[in-house]
Amino acid sequence: YSTYFAGFLFPGHMTVVHDPLKMVSVLEPGGPGGCEMKRRVSVEDTAKAAGCLYAQNGGFFKTKSSECLGNVVSSGRLVQDSKGVQNAQFGIRRDGTLVFGYLSQKDVLDQSNPFVQLVSGVIWLLRDRKIYINESLQAECSETEETGSLKYFVDVVSARTAVGHDEEGRLILFQIDGQTDKRGMNLWQVAEFLKDNGVVNAINLDGGGSSTYVVNGSLASYPSDHCISDSRWRCSREVSTVLCVHQPLCHPANCSEHGECVDGRCRCEKGWRGAACDTLVCQPPACGPHGFCTASGCICDAGWRGTNCSEACPLGFFGASCAQECRCDDLCPCDPQTGSCNTTLPVDTNYTLHRDIQTNFPKDATVSAPEKAISIRRSWLVITLVLTCLLLASLIVSCHQVCCRSVTSRFPERKDYSYVPLRDINGAPSRTAENRNGSLGVEDSDSQEEIWSPSHSGRS
């Protein structure tokens, strides 16, 4: 666009970015590693390789050695720090905070809310809507720029590049065409223009022949440098860092390896949450003293189960999440942690196990919990019935023996002998006949009788 300021027409560009955290990046010349290799690359080439929608030059550099100057943080990676050299800074912190002004080395290296983008300029133009140039002339290092004295650098008209923000937190990229000491704006004019357009804080970036603006990889500004191949034409200068406006990106771009970046937002995997997918859904003390949090929920210690690891293993199971079955003889309980059959469980654990065996079994056991409970109950029922039957039978036999002894005690004469008349043994018919006719009684035959018993007969 072209704008009138103080009665003069100035061609240039102003770009408003609504979500700078996701849409603005500081690029090294030619891509990652450019500053370390002391490269200088045109804004067009750097922007095209990175897929920038809009781009303009950024920080200063040494024209002889091509060394990047000042602080540089690119997409969360600290490229270099200035060791505390005092110049105006622009940065974006991880939480989206926009930072303009002076920073100590401690501020640059702070990791509590680290910078994800950072670049150095020269001269703090606006501070809280007020022009801050005079204060900057007193505070800033003059060796970063190579135009001349710091005051001359401020006062001379030239092509200019700046960055600032408005009261709504939108980032403002500003670029004006010109040629040093011939056309363009001085920094007083730049600061006044930005203030009139609602900018709250702003710093000056590298200008002059470095001032370049690119749209979709194509040069959109009018450079001040003549082309080396043909001086009739103007060519953009190879520069250092670049401010790039791109499609929304996630921070970090890989969503902390726990999600996928979709339209500038991290779509987190199951078990993770947060803008960067860097926070577990399960957070201590959700799993209590017997487990720990993972992406899939609570992982319980051996001998414990449940969504929050608060339930002891039921009788017959042990191990992590109570997934293993005890192998003890006679249905003896095993140690819920190790599975050892040679164990004595605490009273409260025994109570918990006894209660749980009647109600719940692990869902992931090999045999279904209801079937196992029914099987155990049937076994005990059968054993109880058999023992009851044996007890009743034993009781009946004992009662019978007691009754028999009671009867025999009333007739002791019949206990160990038999009565047989001697005549019958010897075969005497007359006596037999008499007996049959009832002529003789038993009491009349005492002299003819003999008591017989196995002990006297000699027979066995």
- Tell the residue number behind the tokens 């050695």, with chain if given: 65
pLDDT of residue 423: 56
- Burial zone of 208 (CB within 10 Å; 0-12 exposed, 13-18 middle, 19+ buried): buried
> For 188-202, what is each residue's pLDDT tens digit?
999 999 999 999 999
The β-bridge relationship of strands 72-74 and 54-57 is: unpaired
d(CA 43, CA 351) in angstroms, rounded, equals 75
pLDDT of residue 171: 98
pLDDT of residue 5: 62
Q: Which residues of 125-162 are buried (b: 16+ CB within 10 A; e: fewer)?
A: bbbeeebbbeebeeebeeebbebeebeebbebbbbbbb
- How many CB atoms are located within 10 Å of the residue 23 CB? 18
pLDDT of residue 235: 92
Percent of the chain with pLDDT over 90: 51
pLDDT of residue 372: 63
Percent of the chain with pLDDT over 70: 79
Query: Which residue type occupies 419?
Result: Y
* DSSP H/E element including 299: strand 297-300
pLDDT of residue 172: 98
CB 47 within 8 A of CB 214: yes
**Confidence check: pLDDT of 162 > 70:** yes
> For 429-450, what is each residue's pLDDT tens digit?
544 444 444 444 444 444 444 4
The single-letter DSSP state of residue 422 is H
CB 244 within 8 A of CB 20: no
Question: Rounded to two decimals, what is the model's pTM?
Answer: 0.62
d(CA 249, CA 17) in angstroms, rounded, equals 13
CB 142 within 8 A of CB 88: no
d(CA 5, CA 419) in angstroms, rounded, equals 157
Q: Which residues contact 283 (CB under 8 A, 6 or more apart)?
A: 293
> For 289-325, what is each residue's pLDDT tens digit?
888 888 888 888 888 888 888 888 887 888 887 888 8
**Confidence check: pLDDT of 460 > 60:** no
Mean pLDDT of 408-425: 53
CA distances to 66, 154, 155 from 148, in Å: 18, 10, 11
> For 51-82, what is each residue's pLDDT tens digit?
999 999 999 999 999 999 999 999 999 999 99
> For 90-126, what is each residue's pLDDT tens digit?
999 999 999 999 999 999 999 999 999 999 999 999 9
Q: What is the dihedral of CA 115, 120, 123, 128, to 10 degrees?
A: -10
